[in-house]
């Protein structure tokens, strides 16, 4: 579903973590960009950040490209997209990816998120957003991600 909104996904530096599989990783921040009409001109205003997650590259970038996001930049990577459901899918994928540690699990998560219906997609995205806005803490988001895996039977 296309909308007038744009969605910006910024990848930032993340401190190294110990995982069984050595992968490059970044912190990703999700920000909606809302067009506002004023005196015949369209201005784009950045919205409130909706979540932050640790993602592993290049799997995350490949998933975003498959959903139609445009990748900009080499060092400061940003993803830009207009599709609401693609944004929700990338958002949920990133939030849950941070609790999974192996590429095999990321593949199962990717398939599940691509096959989700719109209502559960919106529900889980709203749940992650509310938790981030309330606590501003990735630990709470990771707890919700584990609940997502349990409820949606992705394990």
How far lies 114's CA from each of 44, 58, 123, 152, in Å?
Answer: 29, 18, 15, 13
Residues 111-125 pLDDT 10s: 999 999 999 999 999
Range of the domain at 87: 2-151
In percent, how much of the chain has pLDDT > 90? 66
User: Has residue 93 got a pLDDT over 90?
Assistant: yes
Q: How many domains does the chain have?
A: 1
Residue 21 has what pLDDT? 64
């Amino acid at each position: 579903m296309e909308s007038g909104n744009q969605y910006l996904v910024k990848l930032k530096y993340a401190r190294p973590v110990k995982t069984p599989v050595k992968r490059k990783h970044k912190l990703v921040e999700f920000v909606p960009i809302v067009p506002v009409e004023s005196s015949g001109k369209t201005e784009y205003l950045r919205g409130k950040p909706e979540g932050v997650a640790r993602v592993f590259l290049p799997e995350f970038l490949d998933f975003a490209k498959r959903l139609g996001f445009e990748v900009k930049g080499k060092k400061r990577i940003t993803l830009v997209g207009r599709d609401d459901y693609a944004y929700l899918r990338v958002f949920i994928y990133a939030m849950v990816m941070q609790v999974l540690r192996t590429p095999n699990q990321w593949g199962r998560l990717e398939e599940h998120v691509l096959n989700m219906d719109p209502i559960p997609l919106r529900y889980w995205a709203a749940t992650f957003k509310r938790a981030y806005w309330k606590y501003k803490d990735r630990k709470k988001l990771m707890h919700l991600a584990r609940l997502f895996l349990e409820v949606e039977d992705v394990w």
